[in-house]
């Protein structure tokens, strides 16, 4: 256990062995990041458990700062007061592993680092189309935001039953009862003195980073680091990559969202569904546009940069193989990057005026 780690890894006996290319433990993530030579590596936070939170950027350099933040510049008449390089490649950020028990995006990110550095992923496969698409953007990969949660979670949850899935994700109390979902969201932080195991949702202090988003009252170094990076990068697209127990699915935008973003996220639900369906990757159905999310880190990302921020949920269940998970990860990112070349993710002049195009 690392210095600030208070719990052992949650073990589920009998799960299938992960393949060698499924590198998701905190030390494995750090090894992959430290091997980066082409990428520009930054440590954006240190977790309460003592782990580094990494960001690795590829493509043109970070844009110079504007004369204003998004918050103030978006009220001006020129969006260039914040986004200084409207004609430069768009900035795409991948937030992976915000919930530590959800390993799919972490495995995907570590494979993408290998792809970007060596031309091949950890399976030894090239992915020229994805590499070509990424070369048209500045891409910033955060391979694991919640390193604390990762440290106490299994390497994957394929084959876990629903009870094990919930315990590994949201933890259990000292009396053995599940903390459960959404009851886990009654606490910031979880009262750790009453917790048997916190699961991989929170960081080592018991905070759910995905919901640490109140301006003036941020409680985790992870969320603070992410939001500062989103603002500094002038991010045009933030993909927040999670996992659940059904097929892959884009979730609806936050209830507090720009009208254009609400519409665009809904359109991407269908685009991603179609792309996964075409490859036989069994996506979950497209939610109607009325399905919306609460306040969360996405809401705060939009406030930090004006960029389109989207949650995609991967498949953590056994019905999707490790190979399929990686294919889903690549396909989703390719779908966004393909469409982003046809229409900007976040045309800020329109976004800031509260219009829908
Ligand atoms: Zn999640």
Residue-wise pLDDT tens for the chain (357 aa)?
555 668 999 999 999 999 999 999 999 999 999 999 999 999 999 999 999 999 999 999 999 999 999 999 999 999 999 999 877 899 999 999 999 999 999 999 999 999 999 999 999 999 999 999 999 999 999 999 999 999 999 999 999 999 999 999 999 999 999 999 899 999 999 999 999 999 999 999 999 999 999 999 999 999 999 999 999 999 999 999 999 999 999 999 999 999 999 999 999 999 999 999 999 999 999 999 999 999 999 999 999 999 999 999 999 999 999 999 999 999 999 999 999 999 999 999 999 999 998
pLDDT value at position 87? 73
Q: How far does residue 88's CA lie from ligand 1's centre (Å)?
A: 32
Do the Cβ atoms of 268 and 339 come closer than 8 Å?
yes
Token pair for 67: 């004369």
For residue 15, which of 245, 248, 318, 328 has the smallest C-alpha distance?
318
pTM (two decimals): 0.97
Which phi and psi (to 5°) does residue 112 adopt? -65, -35
Structure-token pair, residue 340 = 């982003």
Distance (Å) from CA 241 to ligand 1 centroid: 8
Place of tokens 């993909």: 239
Question: What gap in Å lies between CA 3 and CA 47, rounded to an integer?
Answer: 11
Q: Where are the domains of the chain?
A: 26-97+108-169+196-352
- Interval between CA 243 and ligand 1 midpoint (Å): 6
Q: Determine the distance separating the centroid of ligand 1 and the alpha carbon of 75, expressed in angstroms.
A: 33
Q: How far is the CA of 273 from the centre of ligand 1 (A)?
A: 19
SS3 content of the chain, % helix, strand, coil (to 5): 35, 15, 50
- Report the separation in Å between the CA atom of 311 and the middle of ligand 1, taken as the mean of its atom positions: 9
Residue 170: how many other CB atoms lie within 10 Å: 25
Identify the CATH assignment for 26-97+108-169+196-352 out of 1.10.3720.10, 3.40.50.1220, 3.40.630.10, 3.40.50.300: 3.40.630.10
214 alpha carbon – ligand 1 mean position (Å): 18
How far away, in angstroms, is 98 Cα from ligand 1 center? 7
Burial grade of 229 (CB within 10 A; 0-12, 13-18, 19 or more): buried
102 alpha carbon – ligand 1 mean position (Å)? 6
Whole-angstrom Cα distance, residue 115 to residue 335? Answer: 18
Neighbouring-strand partners of residue 241 = 96, 312
């Amino acid at each position: 256990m690392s210095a600030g780690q208070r719990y052992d890894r949650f073990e589920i006996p009998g799960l299938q062995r992960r393949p060698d290319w499924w590198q998701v433990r905190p030390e494995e993530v750090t090894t992959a990041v430290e091997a980066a030579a082409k990428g520009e590596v930054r440590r954006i936070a240190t977790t309460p458990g003592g782990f580094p939170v990494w960001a690795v950027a590829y493509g043109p350099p970070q844009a110079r700062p504007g004369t204003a933040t998004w918050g103030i510049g978006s009220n001006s008449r020129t969006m260039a007061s914040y986004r200084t390089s409207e004609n430069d490649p768009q900035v795409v950020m991948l937030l992976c592993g915000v919930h530590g028990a959800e390993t799919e995006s972490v495995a995907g990110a570590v494979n993408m680092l290998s792809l970007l550095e060596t031309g091949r992923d950890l399976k030894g496969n090239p992915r020229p189309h994805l590499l070509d698409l990424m070369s048209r953007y500045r891409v910033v990969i955060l391979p694991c935001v919640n390193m604390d949660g990762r440290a106490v979670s299994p390497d994957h949850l394929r084959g876990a039953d629903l009870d094990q899935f919930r315990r590994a994700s949201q933890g259990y109390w000292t009396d053995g009862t599940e903390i459960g979902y959404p009851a886990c969201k009654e606490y910031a932080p979880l009262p750790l003195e009453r917790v048997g195991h916190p699961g991989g949702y929170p960081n080592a202090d018991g905070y759910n980073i995905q919901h640490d988003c109140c301006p003036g009252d941020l409680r985790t170094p992870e969320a603070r680091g992410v939001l500062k990076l989103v603002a500094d990068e002038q991010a045009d697209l933030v993909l927040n990559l999670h996992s659940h127990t059904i097929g892959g699915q884009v979730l609806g935008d936050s209830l507090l969202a720009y009208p254009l973003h609400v519409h665009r996220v809904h359109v991407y639900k269908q685009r991603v569904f179609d792309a996964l369906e075409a490859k036989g990757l069994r996506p979950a159905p497209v939610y109607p546009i009325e399905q919306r999310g609460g306040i969360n880190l996405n809401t705060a990302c939009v406030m930090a940069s004006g960029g389109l921020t989207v949650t995609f949920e991967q498949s953590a269940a056994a019905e999707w193989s490790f190979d399929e998970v990686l294919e889903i990860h690549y396909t989703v990112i390719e779908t966004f990057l393909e469409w982003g070349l046809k229409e900007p993710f976040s045309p800020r002049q329109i976004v800031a005026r509260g219009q829908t195009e």
